[in-house]
Structure 1
């Protein structure tokens, strides 16, 4: 199944460049945590300061299980705290909400 998300970066070219550099050499613990939760593929795209993430999952994936595993993983929590220094919530996000699930409105 495909899930698409959006999130903003702080509108600072130096921070955006640094954020992209960190994704060129993703921490191995983060990559492992993604792969062990039923996520089979993930891509992040950027236009300006807006990010779009496309995530492909298998039948074992669960948003609830992923959230629980992430909350219990100190390295994932460290990564999330670190990348939040570059990120900012979308204007319509609720407090504490980061990546927002997008609704598909068209498919060919």
Structure 2
């Protein structure tokens, strides 16, 4: 029985999908951070507007540094950020790589810093603080 080019291609695709590509996916870890925005409605609006139009250099810096995902959540002036990176990654080093990608990346960080303040209990100059899980419900 002769296979057509289309059916051979489909068989090859199925074989690749079922066998995988041979590349191992690195294990990922999610980190969660919190910060407050300065209690000023004008500053909050400006901060949200900036994030509605992130500078392309900033996202390119994230890619270069190896971030897999960054998501921001908000309740009033409280921000929660999840960062997904390869397990064992050095977040401080990744931040330096991202910021060094382009001068606008460092400019972005300086600008965003003017809108942020630490949550109660943080050190005087500390802004973002990592929170640790203390309860998990997992239903397999």
- TM-score, shorter chain, exceeding 0.5: yes
Q: What is the RMSD of the two structures over their aligned residues, measured on CA atoms?
A: 1.9
Q: Name structure 1 gaps, 5 residues minimum.
A: none
Q: Name structure 2 gaps, 5 residues minimum.
A: 1-28
Higher RCO (C-alpha under 8 Å, 6+ residues apart): 1
Q: 1:2·1:57 contact (CA, 8 Å) conserved in 2?
A: yes
Per-residue displacement from partner, 1:1-53 (whole Å, max 9, x unpaired)? 10000000011122111111110110111111112222111110111111000
More helix by share: 2
Normalized against structure 2, the TM-score is what? Answer: 0.68
Pick closer, same or farther for the CA change 1:61–1:6 going to 2, 3 Å.
same
Indicate which of 125, 129, 137 corresponds to 1:100: 129
Write out aligned runs for 1:1-108 (5 A). Answer: 1-59=29-87, 61-70=89-98, 72-73=100-101, 74-108=103-137
Normalized against structure 1, the TM-score is what? Answer: 0.86
More strand by share: 1
The count of aligned residue pairs is 108
